[in-house]
Chains A and B, each alone.
Chain A
């Protein structure tokens, strides 16, 4: 007698534990070390006894079945015949691009990148940076938008600085981008908002409103990015909901409450598309690029020290000809020191910018409450 997991169920082994991921039901079933090793041996087609309680339970849960003979169960995959038939030389799959069209801001926010704040979702907010250089003119941004359209980029994020200081330029660029992407987002500080600004965006882009005020006004379908200190978690957690994201400024990981979604098991998802994507790509850096106001291209809005090239005098295509983009996109959690020991690595998220700033290492990891060796959430 043999036992195999179903096509939709992946067994992933950590260094000591394991877990089964049901990619249709989006359920995760953690396994103790002994159980995981046993299921791994089943997946290797080693014979089993038909009355094993664990296996009977898995069958009841519709995760796997018994077979009289050695069988082969192909695992569910996702993709497109255009890109999967030949991996090499296919066009890059660009999901989101951030265009930082200016770096001007008159505010002095405590959570700004200018202050060196270590933010868990700083990429979604506005920031200004300690750098010099001329911002690219509007027509250059339009050329880049054309190029992003050719590359079939899905989502566009337009950010500053304070975009309202260059609102005419912002609107010129936004009007040009309208209709070329699935979603367009414009990042604005709460204090820069006005009815006029929101009216200008109507039908063209969604606003992401940067604030540290939990009672910030939410306009229409805008998204609020609520920046908070870890000690305020309890107060702020009540506001998490539809279209409200909480961004932590983290100096020390141990300041975070254990139930914070940044470090707790809440960060995991067994969604078929993200899980299978994460086997090949970094969960956040994959399919992402940022063009800074001076034309520098970086992998993440918060990872300023990693420059992939400059497009001030060239096109984005030149960035993809090098191997640097792949280095970031293909940084699966198999390559992150702690994560590679973890059975949840393909169901997890990872803010590389935050981890790098907390650990000083490109592949370091601090903000996770799971101990993959002991199999415990702390």
Chain B
């Protein structure tokens, strides 16, 4: 078990069971001694430890450890998998994957955000270009996807297909988006399809907004906060800030009462978190769904511009904001829309505590990390090549519009991925792992986990302590959306 502390309590992460459990000095002492033959009986252990701990506490820990051991998995050592045949991969993909086809409709963008993952700040990702996806490529990719869904319906009839439009700025290729949706609605009306788009919002107008709403698009608007915050990084190629244009267009949708719209915010070490909190509480701003720091994956150079003092100042501000958030958390009523601080602090806590599943056997094909299996999403670049997602280097395609999704390539990619999991078998946070292809893939190949996860436990322990600290103050914040708790608690308010 991996011990850690909040300010108030001791806990341990049990990676074998996949659960956070209360811990104590007594528990540690009992755990250290219980397997030694001469102290294996309850009485001898109490006798051995009673000078340092209360007898009833020793007895409790002894009984609990004995009880807990009954549910530990029989086979504790998971082997690193080797190869998977194409047929195994195919069945897995048809059953559990294919949740979204993302069309990168253009690599062009009318913004030049300073932190863009497609800027020269990142050496492992592509750069902006004037390339646009052709209608022919889009239609063929869509036909490939629905052909897979047709095969996959026998394995997973409950799947709801989803089409994402991505860029660059997808609205630069709006005609293609319209053609694609019309093609799907005309050809594949057997399926109930969800559409989504991440846009900078600057090219939205009444006509486009009405069409998108009419087709039920889930719209995610990149919005970094109030004008001065947003304009610091989100600029046109001329260097002019984009806030006013974006907000004017977003208002078109917000005023109509359309609900399938949210904001996505990106922060850096100069962000004013308190101003963001205030801004995202405004009714005319789409509710925030995600807030994250500028990504440091893929050979990122973005953070080189910041001084040590700026980094420290941001860290202080972050702690300060968290402190204030925790102070008001216990009195907080349930809100219809989450605040910036809810998203920043509580959502991660919820994922940390309720992300892993306890008492389960990990499938052979997915033994350690939290990664998607290639094929869960299909990202189609402007040239018609299929990739694992929008965040991975484009050097490992998993098919294209000509051959379709290649189970052989997925199988080969998985094999390479697994060959680099050298640290995983001994890792103490296997079930809490968040490493995926996007984090372990470079243009040249894969990082070994011994390198990529060298000191992974230290920040995770910190995240565990922060998550549990939030849960201590407001259990409901972390338990939301858990069917277990919803059902248990909805009657008679336990």
- Please give the residue numbers on chain A whose beta carbons come within 8 Å of chain B beta carbons, in ascending order: 4, 6-8, 10-15, 24-25, 40, 43-45, 56, 59-60, 62, 65, 67-82, 84-92, 146-147, 150-152, 272, 276, 279-280, 315-321, 332, 334, 340, 346
B182 in contact (CB, < 8 A):
no
Which residues of chain B from 20 to 68 have any CB-CB distance to chain A below 8 Å in the complex?
A: 20-22, 56, 59-60, 63-64, 67-68
**CA–CA, A266 to B157, complex, Å?**
38
**How many cross-chain pairs have Cβ atoms below 8 Å apart between A and B?**
166
Q: With A13-B494, A24-B68, A67-B9 in contact, do A80 and B22 touch (Cβ < 8 Å)?
A: no
Q: Check A70–B8 contact: CB distance below 8 A.
A: yes
For B154, the chain A residues whose CB sits under 8 A away are 146-147, 150-151, 315, 317
| Residue numbers in B under 8 Å from A8 (CB-CB) | 67-68, 71
B residues with a Cβ closer than 8 A to A are: 8-9, 17, 19-22, 56, 59-60, 63-64, 67-68, 70-71, 95-96, 99, 153-160, 353, 355-363, 366, 370, 468, 471-473, 475, 478, 483-485, 487-488, 490-494
Question: Do residues B358 and A91 form an inter-chain contact, with CB atoms below 8 A?
Answer: no
Question: In the complex the two chains form, is B488's CB within 8 Å of A62's CB?
Answer: no
Query: Of B158, B363, B491, B493, which one neighbours A82 at CB under 8 angstroms?
Result: B363
Give chain A residues whose Cβ lies under 8 Å from the Cβ of B490: 334
Shortest CB-to-CB span from B7 to chain A, Å, is 8
Measured between beta carbons, the chain B residues less than 8 angstroms from A59 are 56, 60
Are B488's CB and A12's CB within 8 A?
A: yes
CB-CB under 8 A for A80 and B360, given A60-B56, A89-B159: yes
Contact residues in A for B485 (Cβ distance below 8 Å)? 75
Taking the closest CB of chain B, its distance from the CB of A41, in whole angstroms, is 10
Q: How far is the CA of A80 from the CA of B357 in the complex (A)?
A: 6
**Chain B residue contacts of A12, Cβ below 8 A:** 488, 494
Chain B residues in 8 Å Cβ range of A65: 22, 60
**A10 and B485 alpha carbons, distance in the complex (Å):** 10
| Residues of A contacting B71 in the complex (Cβ-Cβ under 8 angstroms) | 8, 24, 76, 272
CB distance B8 to A71 under 8 Å?
yes
> A72: nearest residue on chain B (CB-CB)?
B471
User: In the docked arrangement, what's the CA distance between A8 and B70, Å?
Assistant: 12
Which 3 residue pairs are nearest across A and B when measured between Cβ atoms? A317-B157, A69-B8, A72-B471
Q: Contact at A90–B357, with CB atoms within 8 Å?
A: no
7 A-B pairs in the complex with CB atoms less than 8 angstroms apart: A8-B68, A24-B67, A67-B9, A70-B473, A90-B96, A151-B155, A316-B157
In the assembled complex, how far is the CB of residue A43 from the closest CB belonging to chain B, in whole angstroms? 6
Given A14-B492, A67-B9, A81-B362, A90 and B19 touching (CB < 8 A)? no
* Distance from A44 Cβ to chain B, minimum over Cβ atoms (Å): 8
Given A7-B19, A81-B360: A70 in contact with B472 (beta carbons within 8 A): yes
A128 and B99 CA atoms in complex are apart in Å by 42
On whether the beta carbons of B483 and A280 are closer than 8 Å, the reply is: yes
Residue of A nearest to B20 (CB): A74
Chain B positions within 8 Å of A77 at CB level = 19, 357-359, 484
In the complex, chain B residues whose CB is within 8 Å of the CB of A24: 67-68, 70-71
Is the pair A317, B9 in contact by a Cβ cutoff of 8 Å?
Answer: no
> Which of A69, A80, A89, A90 meets B361, CB within 8 Å?
A80
- Decide: A78 and B60 in contact? CB cutoff 8 A: no
Closest chain-B Cβ to A342's Cβ sits at a distance in Å of 10
The distance from the CB of A14 to the nearest CB of chain B, in whole angstroms, is 7
Across the interface, A62 reaches (CB within 8 A) one of B9, B17, B22, B63, namely B63
- Is there an interface contact between B155 and A150, defined as CB atoms closer than 8 Å? yes
Q: Closest approach, in angstroms, between the C-beta of A103 and any C-beta of chain B?
A: 27
In the assembled complex, the CB of B98 is this many whole angstroms from the nearest CB of chain A, namely 10
> Once the chains are docked, how many angstroms separate the CA of A199 from the CA of B20?
52
Given A8-B67, A12-B488, A90-B96, is A279 in contact with B483 using a C-beta cutoff of 8 Å? yes
Determine whether the beta carbon of A13 is less than 8 Å from that of B160. no
Question: A91 and B158: CB pair below 8 A?
Answer: yes
Given A91-B156, A279-B487, A79 contacting B357 (CB threshold 8 A): yes
Given the known inter-chain contacts A10-B488, A279-B483, A317-B153, please indicate yes or no for A62 contacting B159, CB distance below 8 A. Answer: no
Among A11, A59, A67, A72, chain B packs the most CB atoms within 10 A around the CB of A72
> Chain B residues with Cβ under 8 A from A151's Cβ?
154-155, 157
Nearest A-chain residue to B9, judged by Cβ: A71
B171 to chain A, nearest CB (A): 27
Give Cα distance in the complex from A276 to B357, angstroms. Answer: 13
Contact among B475, B488, B493 with A72 in the assembled complex (CB-CB below 8 Å): B475
B96 touches A79 (CB 8 A): no
Beyond the given A8-B68, A72-B20, please list 20 additional residue pairs across the A-B interface where CB-CB is below 8 A. Answer: A6-B22, A24-B68, A71-B8, A72-B472, A74-B19, A75-B485, A78-B358, A79-B357, A79-B360, A81-B363, A89-B158, A89-B159, A89-B160, A91-B155, A92-B157, A151-B154, A279-B488, A316-B157, A317-B157, A340-B491
Given contacts A10-B488, A150-B155, contact A91 B95 (CB under 8 A): yes
CB <8 Å contact, B358 and A69:
no
Assess whether A272 is in contact with B359, with CB atoms less than 8 Å apart: yes
Q: Are B159 and A280 in contact (CB under 8 A)?
A: no
Q: How far is the CB of A42 from chain B (nearest CB, A)?
A: 10
Nearest chain A CB to B444's CB is how many angstroms away? Answer: 29
Give Cα distance in the complex from A133 to B15, angstroms: 55
Q: Which residue of A lies closest to B67 (CB)?
A: A24
* Cross-chain contact of A13 among B357, B468, B492 (Cβ < 8 A): B492
Q: Which of B20, B370, B484 has a CB less than 8 Å from the CB of A279?
A: B484
Q: How far is the CB of A80 from chain B (nearest CB, A)?
A: 5
A6 B64 Cβ-Cβ under 8 A:
yes
With CB as the reference atom, state the residue of chain B lying closest to A316: B157
Q: Is the CB of A62 within 8 A of B67?
A: yes
State the Cβ distance, B292 to closest chain A Cβ, in Å: 19
